[in-house]
């Protein structure tokens, strides 16, 4: 009839069956496991040797506040507006140019390739240290021989390639299985990080605890011998505090933060993009930054020069003349001479 409105045309599309599998917890674990690793547990510890005069916690604090948190906020907002798998390729392609989007995405991919190999290589050093300590404590020659093999170039290549292939294969299993594995490994990693802070805080700050712990593993007087050697050489790699050295150490800090934007690259898999990205990338970056500040601060605080070394002729005068606090010289001496 003339007075009746025409019925709207409805197009029915068959459901694809695709399900978003990544919630806030898994998104956070993607960020945490992709970020926390060799960058903090290795680079932060050797930074004061590589950059004498640097106060390493400041390096991670400044880098986190000035660069990482703002970047995480921007990527979170863009990811919430365009929740598509592909990360910044989507943002840059649509907002600027497909060419720039490709270049940025390819650059990130190339960084990832290098990072996977570097971290695989770095990680073996942690197993070597653990196996060495275990072998000495248990007086087990087999464990010590295994540690020695792992420390060799051959051991690094074989184990490193194994790590890369195993975790590369896991990535091919699909997002659901990959997410479960990441969640499990992430919880283990977080427990390890908490253990680091707990051990340093409970035992490390006790007077003489670090010296006693070192000597229990490596033999009586081992700790003091390293410091004595540093003073004998007369030129240990230490210096008074310097902002220049601190900012130079932030180069390693930037590398250690790579991974805080991981969740945005699976934007199409996120159940609640805005909420998941905020928890994973913004809160995640803040949590990671706090750990990155606390760990080196506690590490550099608990390793001090033994009192009997300080009492020796010329020790304190050497430190005072160079304006070097005694808690800095020893840790650097360890890395320089071990």
Model confidence pLDDT, tens digit, residues 71-82: 999 989 988 888
Q: Tokens 């840790």 identify what position?
A: 331
Q: Is residue 265 within 8 Å of 171, Cβ to Cβ?
A: no
End-to-end CA distance of the chain: 95
Q: Looking at the domain assignment, is residue 10 inside a domain? A: no
Distance CA 218, CA 221 (A): 9
* Greater pLDDT, 274 or 310: 274
* Residue 12 forms part of a structural domain: no
Q: Are 53 and 245 in contact (CB under 8 A)?
A: yes
User: Rounded mean pLDDT of 273-280?
Assistant: 89
Q: Which two tokens stand for residue 31?
A: 């960020």
- Given a cut of 90, whether residue 146 has pLDDT beyond it is yes
pLDDT of 334: 45
pLDDT band for position 9 (cuts 50, 70, 90)? low
Residue 312 pLDDT grade (very low, low, confident, very high; cuts 50, 70, 90): low
Provide the residue range defining the domain that includes 290.
24-337
Phi first, then psi, for residue 65 (nearest 5°) are: -75, -45
Number of domains in the chain: 1
Residue 6 lies inside a defined structural domain of this protein: no
pLDDT tens, residue by residue, 95-112: 888 898 888 888 888 888
The tens digit of pLDDT for each residue in 172-223 reads: 888 888 889 999 999 999 999 999 888 888 776 766 677 777 777 777 877 7
Asked if residue 19 belongs to a domain, the reply is: no
Domain contains 2 = no
5 in a structural domain: no
């Amino acid at each position: 009839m003339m007075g009746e409105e025409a019925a709207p045309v409805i197009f029915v599309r068959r459901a694809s069956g695709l399900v978003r599998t990544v919630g806030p917890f898994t998104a956070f674990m993607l960020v945490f496991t992709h970020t926390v690793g060799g960058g903090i547990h290795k680079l932060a510890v050797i930074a004061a040797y590589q950059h004498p005069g640097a106060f390493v916690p400041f390096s991670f604090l400044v880098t986190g506040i000035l660069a990482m948190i703002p970047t995480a906020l921007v990527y979170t907002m863009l990811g919430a507006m365009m929740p598509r798998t592909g990360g910044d390729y989507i943002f840059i392609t649509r907002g600027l140019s497909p060419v720039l989007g490709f270049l940025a995405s390819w650059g990130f991919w190339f960084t990832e390739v290098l990072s996977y190999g570097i971290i695989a290589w770095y990680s073996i050093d942690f197993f070597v240290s653990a196996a060495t300590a275990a072998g000495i404590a248990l007086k087990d020659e087999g464990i010590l021989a295994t540690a020695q093999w792992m420390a060799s170039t051959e051991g690094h290549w074989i184990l490193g390639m194994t790590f890369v292939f195993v975790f590369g294969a896991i990535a091919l299993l699909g997002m659901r299985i990959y997410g479960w594995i990441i969640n499990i490994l992430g919880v283990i990693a977080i427990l390890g990080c908490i253990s680091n802070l707990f051990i340093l805080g409970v035992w490390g700050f006790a007077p003489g605890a670090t010296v006693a712990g070192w000597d229990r593993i490596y033999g009586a007087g081992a700790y003091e011998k390293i410091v004595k050697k540093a003073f004998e050489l007369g030129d240990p790699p230490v210096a008074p505090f310097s902002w220049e050295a601190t900012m130079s150490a932030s180069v390693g800090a930037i590398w250690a933060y790579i991974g805080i934007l991981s969740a945005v690259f699976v934007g199409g898999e996120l159940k609640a993009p805005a909420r998941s990205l905020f928890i994973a990338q913004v809160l995640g970056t803040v949590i990671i930054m706090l750990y990155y500040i606390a760990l080196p601060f506690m590490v550099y605080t608990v390793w001090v020069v033994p009192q009997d070394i300080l009492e020796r002729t010329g020790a304190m005068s050497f430190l005072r003349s160079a304006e070097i606090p005694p808690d800095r010289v020893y840790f650097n001496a360890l890395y320089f001479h071990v």
